[in-house]
Structure 1
Amino acid sequence: MPPSRPAQKSLQHRTISSAVAEELRRRIVNGEFGSGFQLRQDALAAEFGVSRIPVREALMQLEAEGLVKIHPHRGAIVSELSTEEIDELFDLRSLLEPRLLEASAPRLTEADYERLNGILQEYSSELRAMHISRWGELNTEFHMVLYQHARQPRSLAVVANLLQESDRHTRLQLSLTQGVERAAAEHAEILELCTQGKIGAACALLRKHIEGAGESLRSYLEKHQTIGAKK
């Protein structure tokens, strides 16, 4: 039985929206569209010769990746991509989070490990489904559950804020640098080391995990912004 006409139209829209998203992503990352630039649906639809529907879908995809922010009255605005901000956020995380894990890991319970394994399973499921908007949320949840028993409320509050601030950077790093599978593998290894009581090794891997994420995103942006500047 041939597919229905609405299904064909839906597939066509997804294909067009993917192409629009790819071109907009290229322009944002290489600096053609700077931070704060307003992406008007009608103008983009006219430029690409498409309807507003695939443009809207493309912008929603870019918002999930952290490249744009959609405001109710202003529309889609290009997010700031600052390597200095990335350095600061990930440097602070690499300093604080291993300390919290070192204090919390010995107190993790069987119920905690069950929850952490559940997060990893859901992460794998969302990875296969390419639900980018969930990657950052699950990453934050995984880290916060690991640190919850540290008994350092001020540091925990700072890290919670840092994770929230770096959420879009995390989604960018995972979606643009093919870092998703590496992140999933490192999360699983950190959890296994904690389970085995190898807390020092788990903290060392956590620091490497955070630093690696920041470095890969910074390198990606620097490379593509340099390419964009030469064009």
Structure 2
Amino acid sequence: MTGAAAARPRGAGSHGSAPETVREALRVSISSGELAPGSQLRQDELAERFGTSRIPVREALRQLEAEGFVTFLPNRGAVVSDLSIDEVIELLEIRIALECHALRLAIPAMGESDLEEAKAILQSYDEEPDPAKWGTFNWKFHEMLYIPCNRPRLLSMIEANYGHVSRFTRTLVSRAAGKERPQREHYHLLELCRDGQIEKAVRLLREHIVETQKTLRSAQRHAARDLGSGG
């Protein structure tokens, strides 16, 4: 959780601000892998951490439950949700639908500053040696491409879906795929956006995410084989 979120004063802002602050901070922690699947989320501990009562914490957890990030279990309370490999594959299919639509809407509205900022993100991505951090750059790049679509609800859905996917693919896929191929595709995608090649860009984006599905399935098979062989 971010220090800024934890430091928000008790009762700050409107009635909805405290639950929103807690919800957003927890969602970031879950998406980043800081809070692993199965981690227990105790309301009293969270209330103390965020400097609030248990009521906004409870509301935030219910919102996260609706988004699929949290599950309420008998005798355990709220825990970070887990997902099967098939559920992650389905979320990647949803990602294709949402992000391809957003990109199609965004390209005609992209300005030079949008394109340059996306390029700067890729350059920082190139220089990052830690696979655990690649997912953050990946998200920032994709987000930058979609922001010009100016559809807040669509962007919110994309961010939530990406958060679900990334906590299961962030390290596994990054280590299995490396970053040479994804980065090559990112730069190509950026050039297609710059040239206004909407359909080619959307097709490449779809293929880019499908490749993540394939990599995830392959990594799962290798992990199962290694487990079976006692490796």
Whether TM exceeds 0.5 here: the answer is yes
Q: What percent identity do the matched residue pairs reach?
A: 34
Q: Find the counterpart in structure 1 of residue 178 from structure 2.
A: 179
Q: Is contact 1:174-1:180 (8 Å) kept?
A: no
Q: 1:207 to 1:192 in 2, by over 3 A?
A: same
C-alpha distance in 1, partners of 2:226/2:40? 33
Asked if 2 retains the 8 angstrom alpha-carbon contact of 1:66 and 1:168, the reply is yes
Could you say which residue in structure 1 is the equivalent of 2:69? none
Secondary structure (helix, strand or coil) at the match of 1:166 reads: helix
1:8-87 equivalence runs, <5 A:
69=36, 80=82, 82-87=84-89
Q: 1:174: Cα distance to partner?
A: 3.8
For the residues of structure 1 that align with 2:35 and 2:180, how far apart are their CA atoms? 24
Aligned position for 1:98 = 100
Map 1:141-156 → 2, pairs under 5 A: 141-156=140-155
Deviations 1:55-95 (A, max 9, x none): xxxxxxxxxx959849799xxxxx95731122122111011
**Contact 1:173-1:179 within 8 A present in 2 as well:** no
Q: Does 1:132 align with 2:131?
A: yes
Structure 2 residue ranges without an equivalent (≥5):
1-31, 42-80
2:123 matched residue in structure 1: 121
For residue 152 of structure 1, report the CA deviation from its aligned partner. Answer: 2.4
Residues 177 and 215 in structure 2, CA contact (< 8 A), matched pair in contact too = no
Tell me, what secondary structure is at the counterpart of 2:135? Answer: helix
TM-superposed deviation, 1:207: 0.6
Kindly provide the CA deviation profile for residues 141-184 of structure 1, in whole angstroms up to 9, marking residues without a partner as x: 11111011213222211101111222233422443313311111
Match for residue 167 of structure 2?
Answer: 168
Is 1:193 matched up with 2:195? no
Q: State the secondary structure of the residue aligned to 2:148.
A: coil
Q: Deviations over 1:174-231 (max 9, x none)?
A: 4331331111111111001111111110000001101111221122112321442354
Shift of 1:132: 2.5
Alpha carbons 1:190, 1:202 under 8 Å: kept: yes
Task: Give me the TM-score of the superposition, normalised by structure 1.
Answer: 0.62
- Partners of 2:116 and 2:167 in 1: CA distance: 27
Q: For residue 224 of structure 1, what is the aligned residue in structure 2?
A: 223
Structure-2 separation of matches of 1:81 and 1:179: 24
Partner secondary structure for residue 197 of structure 1:
coil
CA distance in 2, matches of 1:99, 1:159: 10
Equivalent pair of 1:105/1:194 in contact (CA under 8 Å): yes
Q: Secondary structure of the residue that 2:163 maps to in structure 1?
A: helix
Which runs of 5 or more structure 1 residues have no equivalent in the other structure? 1-64, 74-78
Shift of 1:133: 3.1
Partner of 2:209: 210
Which segment is superposed worse, 213-222 or 111-120? 213-222
For residue 161 of structure 1, what is the amino acid of its counterpart? A
The counterpart of 1:111, out of the listed 104, 109, 113, is 113
Q: Distance in 1 between matches of 2:180 and 2:82?
A: 26
Paired with 1:215 and 1:192, the residues of 2 have a C-alpha distance of: 25
The count of aligned residue pairs is 164
Whichever residue aligns with residue 136 of structure 2, its letter is E
Question: Aligned partners of 1:123 and 1:147: how far apart in 2?
Answer: 18
d(CA) in 1 for partners of 2:182, 2:34 = 20
